[in-house]
Structure 1
């Protein structure tokens, strides 16, 4: 239901830009007017895309991060079309050559504002390429850093339209609306930058090294109350980038995370002494909500460290069965007994045939792990007859 509010909010925010479509004579005719409206709508799509990219904001509309990401991607696709169409229409309307799209000129006021738009266009093309044609060969960390360009990009778009936007110059009320959008964007950017200051401070109570390059951390504190399957963002210092980890257990002020070695941040976590402060932001996610609320017995399929969102849920639901594709089974037999079914130590691959053979006929399936594991297992389960409405998945990015 809350996602419908998001759709309604996007539509309502776009309505003011429909007014100029009926007054194209204000800016010299249909083609220049259409180019202006297209640019404003493209900017609005980017505005929403950036806002939904901030988890602190998207949570106001829905806790289901998967649906938010889908909306974020849809806005990116529609915004890309509008953003790229705008300069092409301007080029045709003013009868410029192709160099008009990339020529930077800061010698006078109008050319400066136009050049800000060109810089935004170049940054947008870089963002678009990193999310489409180059996504398969771009590491997640690099992709995320490139996406930080979206903040200065949108800032440049607001400045460009404020200085050049003909409709904004002719319609004072639309100019005021544009400034309100810019102020809201600045507020969200500041809110996100201040996120470390709002994070809960937890104390590292213990760290236990287990098999397979995994360390189990116990944090003590208050204020974070995750449900089974949710995750939190952790920082070891206020100015560093946060990293998401699923909560294995949350009871009586204790948060437990199982973290696999995966780069510099996990190395810094391992180096922390007992008593050190860890900043916790969250909780987020709704991956296993259907398993908690639904009546179907849950079949949990984990690849490696992807088991972490399932542990607490499997303990609480006595009808849950946990399949684990791993070379290093966790010590879960004492909690789950035969309901914990890791891959055999001999290396036999966990297959959909084995899972569906042992699962109840009316089960709901939940798959979590790395991108390759999730894609392959979901395809196998679909091929073995698991309906799409009973198959849920979430992938880990390292």
Structure 2
């Protein structure tokens, strides 16, 4: 007999009781060192502690029935409508829960993509441990010389019996150094071009033939890594989808990634509160130009949030290409936050002294968010072609070679 669906109000009360029994209410502590970076960049000892806390919290929520509110019961979910998942996320924002950035790809991006593309055996093997974070995953898409153009992937995988042997290099991978598995895009058909001949795999990261090297960024942190694959192996049963059909798997994954970024807890509006406090501290709390800038950020942030909620309410089959608009509007509004902070602080924004330097970290880390999940330029192309139905961008003709002259 199926369990009756609780009312949204009863579910929300249940969630409040559960989270409140484990976590403290969120408060603003002015004594803490501020950090406004939109990318996690923390000392290794802090990262290790926060990662352990995040994994423990995900396991607690999963075991209590809140780990996959709108997920299928066969894989540990509760089979509730998406509105219930939104309600639970709203409850968590009221409390100081562990940072979900460490598990965002595994939980919010990879799992729904596997639901669409993994065969039943692979789904049964991977979905529950990924959602409960018994396994943590990373994304192995981008490559040197290709960047956001994933169709230019040159990492190769060749079949050797029941295993694929992988050689190549990936770059800009978040969380590679603590992940157990990676969603890998590799070229499995020699001589294939662009998005043909690509296949997706779930490859074990802790094996001979895989080396992870941190990339030092201009912010001073190293939240991304480059990954070298030299004879690494992945069993054929860890293949996601059919051979040569990896492009559809990757596009689904990117669709969910853009949805996650576009609904990232209203980070622009959270930072707006800190920006308003900065304006008051600078004696510009009543300045008309400053108030105009703050009001513009507020209106844009709330409008984008309402638009995104409407997109999600209509997305019965999962988020569509219109979520690219949500990501664009978020990065644009965060850029306005950073610019307003610069207008208030001027050259003091680049002085290594808190709290001013925290705004400098926002400005620098924002460029990573503009790239992650697809660059702003790619997002605009998707909106133009797939949302507005405008003609596709012409592909430039290849330059003539010397032989053809």
TM-score category of the 2 structures, normalised to the smaller one: under 0.3
The TM-score with structure 1 as length reference comes to 0.27
Larger relative contact order, structure 1 or 2 (CA cutoff 8 Å, min sep 6): 2
Higher strand share: 1
Higher helix share: 1
